[in-house]
Amino acid sequence: MKKKIVFLSFAFLNLLLIVSCSNNKTTETVSEKAGVVISKSIGIDEFEKLLSAEAVQLIDVRTPEEFEPAHIKNATNININDDGFETQVSSLNKNAPVLVYCLSGGRSAGAAQKLEEMGFTKIYNMEGGIMAWDAANKTLEKSGTETTTGMTKADLDKLVQSKAMVLVDYNAKWCVPCKKMAPMLDKFVDARKEKLTLLKIDADENKELLKEKGISGIPVLELYKNGKLVWAHNGSIEENELVKETGI
């Protein structure tokens, strides 16, 4: 009889431990779900759908000079490169969705990371930026002061046909990878100046050209030989890769 009582006691104790562990596991799971931070890059179509969400906060992190001519409707301009960026975004609701975009997606990705560090819980970065948005013929709110200056594709065709070999560099002043690549490209072309010409095209000053060519992100390099495109590369590239891929 005594042994039976001891057995029942241990059985009862085990049952209590199982229930206790089960309850603790449930609590931890709920806690983890409650603390989830959503921070991701999404395509323009998904981004557009989120714009209709309640209490959404749309932030254009470009410079005021970029924002003023054309931007997505209802966007607030808070320059990521401004010293007061954190101060300005601190007034936003950290628990409501924040949608960020820039020209091609690089600066807004940095802004999304910064917002996550500041405690925002629902952050969405638009992949490809306003270049991809415009290339897909999505609606933009324009001030009426935007000019159509800059070269056309016909202009570009004439330029690349004027030399035997032309390396075209699509860049922008704010583009960090573009800045890092610039000295390397200058050196690369200078070492081959008898046969190679470098043509630098500013994305901000030639928006129509980039749209016409379907370029939605920078940096982009193109190599033309006798007016024909023979090589292209999206994103950063090291000099040894450039030599290997172009063969020059």
- Whole-number Å distance between alpha carbons of 186 and 126: 32
All structural domains of the chain with their residue ranges: 38-142, 153-246
Question: Would you state the pLDDT for residue 178?
Answer: 93
Classify strands 197-202 and 165-171 as parallel, antiparallel or unpaired: parallel
The predicted structure's pLDDT at residue 134: 86
Question: Which pLDDT score, from 0 to 100, does residue 146 have?
Answer: 52
| Residue that has been written with the tokens 């799971």 in this structure | 29
Domain 38-142 shares a fold with domain 153-246: no
216: which 2 tokens? 């939605």
Give the per-residue pLDDT at 97.
95
Query: Any idea which architecture 38-142 has in CATH?
Result: 3-Layer(aba) Sandwich (3.40)
The order of strands in the sheet holding 57-60 is 38-42, 122-126, 98-101, 57-60, 76-77
Do 126 and 151 meet the contact criterion of CB atoms below 8 Å apart? no
Chain Cα centroid distance, residue 236: 14
Burial 209-222 (b: 16+ CB within 10 A, else e): bbeebebbbbbbbb
The residue among 175, 169, 83, 178 whose CA lies nearest residue 129 is 175
> pLDDT value at position 8?
41
For residue 75, the model assigns a pLDDT of 97
pLDDT at 32 (0 to 100): 31
| 21 annotated active-site | no
Residue 148: per-residue pLDDT = 53
Choice among 112, 175, 223, 242 that is catalytic: 175
Is 102 one of the catalytic residues?
no
Question: Residues of the chain whose pLDDT is less than 70?
Answer: 1-35, 144-149
- Quote the CA–CA distance of 217 and 106 in Å, as a whole number: 9
Please pick, among 78, 99, 178, 218, the residue that the annotation labels catalytic.
178
Say which CATH architecture domain 153-246 belongs to.
Answer: 3-Layer(aba) Sandwich (3.40)
Tokens of 147: 């000019």
